[in-house]
Amino acid sequence: MRGFAAVLMGAALSLAHSGVSQMGSPDARPVPGMPGVAGPLAEKYGADAARILQAAESDEDGYAALTYLCDHVGKRLSGTPQLNTAVAWGAELMRKAGLQNVIVQPVMVPRWVRGSESATMMYKGESGPITRPLHMLGLGMSMGTPAGGITAPVVFVANFDALDAMTPDEVKGKIVVYNPGWHGYGVNTQYRTYGASRAAEKGAVGMLVRSATALAMQIPHTGTLVYDAKQPRIPAAAISVEDALMIERLCKEGPVTVHLEMQAHMDADVEAGNVMGEIVGSEHPEQVVSIGGHIDSWDVGQGAQDDGSGIMAAYQAVTLIHKLGLKPKRTIRLVFWVNEENGGAGGRAYRKMVGGKIGDQVAAIEMDEGAEKPLGLGYGSFGGPRRPRNTTGAAAVPAGLPDVSAMPAKVQQSVAVLQDIVSMLGPIGSDSVSAGGGGSDIEPLTADGVPALSPRTVDAHYFDWHHTEADTLDKVDPVEFRKNAAMLSVVAYVLADMDGRLAGRKGSGE
């Protein structure tokens, strides 16, 4: 990123002499699907943005904090001592950085315990017997098996339609194995989330699902499931892509049996907390731009990309503003939300804390898709998926905008404003605005009209690593991490200081 700041400074000075219209005027028009369009905000804040980019290039505090979090705290599932260690450490980190009003908001979180687990596949077809241990991880919130496990024949299905076409007699007493292929995270997680109850409705005694990833490396990916209260609860686990494919092949030849043992269980809820610190606004301290990610992780790997990189990039973004002595008119609130992975209690508690002052929440920015190369900003107030997913593993292309001209006037103006802001991020290649944006932790806010924003990255490898033992620090490139921090810093600062506000879903005419 060295040298980019000088380029941006030159562009800002050029804009200063170009007669660009003031914010909100008819001249500030969005260009659908195009990179950021420079306008009056770039004229006003270009020099500050250049300073932020230059400082971010050499600032090592964020990555150093991420290193400590990964190597010395490690995995931090809700309800564990490691999570509370991370919470206390996060609060002290904010205090040492000079943030104001640092607090830990108490939040009760679930305590799911994985315990010992294993699965073995057995085949006794005409071509000869096969016995093989499966690469598996129990799904979060799953119940366990009885002592000694369960042994049952497998019924393989490619999708829910195939399961629905079966009779209860064809499924009763069996273990359902789903392999829908890879069609993107949003599609595949439906099987992980709801597959157990769909199988139990037909009488299944267990469920295995292909991991939600395109990468075949014998690495299982965990994640949470949701039980339907109307159906029996059955044990459920994810298996590697390779194992799912082998079961699929063998089921075409003859009967396959699986022995599944899981000690998973729920304990009583445990107190944890959302961690918060602020740069208090100089003119409108009651108005807040919230920015952050989730501090909890799964109980595998180090939670480096998901979501250590998110909270530490947000931390660096906010502390850069503080170090540079920039004093926005509104308050910037850094938040490490808790319990995103298996419950969402932190996001709900934060919304409850805001209460009737929801109108003072100017914007909510959540980073929770890893710190790969940033492309720009997702805006969630005019539809589109929250997080469009890369299904190929190749570098992504920024998603274009829908027809902006058909949107309400307030949304059109907000898109133009965001394109103006990201135009200042051209030097780091992050100058696009796309549909969708937000995150699980801020959904309770954005459901009540707070504008939702999130970084967009190339998303080339995030689903190779996340929710696995491979989600470790070495997967986070320091250079790309600092670019993400720089993008967040510029966006948060301008939103907190500019005149006017973005449109959210409510009050925008949608």
Residues belonging to the active site: 340
Q: What is the dihedral of CA 278, 279, 280, 286, to 10 degrees?
A: -60
* Spatial separation of the C-alpha atoms in residues 492 and 428, rounded to whole Å: 16
Tell me, letter by letter, the H, E, C secondary structure of 106-134: EEEEEEEECCCEEEEEEEEECCEEEEEEC
* Spatial separation of the C-alpha atoms in residues 157 and 155, rounded to whole Å: 7
Contact 476, 367 (CB under 8 A): no
Q: What are phi and psi of 466, to 5 degrees?
A: -70, 145
**C-alpha 113 chain-centroid distance:** 23
Three-state secondary structure call for residue 189: helix
E strand or H helix at 277, and its extent? strand 265-279
Q: How far apart are the first and last CA of the chain?
A: 39
- Nearest alpha-carbon partner for 351 in 447, 273, 426: 447
| Residue type (1 letter), 36 | G
Three-state secondary structure call for residue 6: helix
What's the angle, vertex CA 56, arms to CA 346 and CA 469, rounded to 5? 50
Contact 436, 381 (CB under 8 A): no
* Spatial separation of the C-alpha atoms in residues 449 and 472, rounded to whole Å: 35
Within 8 A by CB and 6+ apart from 150, the residues are 175, 205, 206, 235, 259, 260, 261
**C-alpha 235 chain-centroid distance:** 26
Structure tokens at 382: 């005019």
Structure tokens at 267: 């304990």
- Nearest alpha-carbon partner for 113 in 135, 140, 75: 140
E strand or H helix at 482, and its extent? helix 478-497
E strand or H helix at 155, and its extent? strand 150-157
- Nearest alpha-carbon partner for 120 in 135, 110, 107: 135
How many C-beta neighbours within 10 Å does residue 254 have?
11
Structure tokens at 391: 């299904």
Contact 195, 178 (CB under 8 A): yes
* Spatial separation of the C-alpha atoms in residues 317 and 59, rounded to whole Å: 10
In sign, the C-alpha dihedral spanning 285, 55, 484, 338 is negative
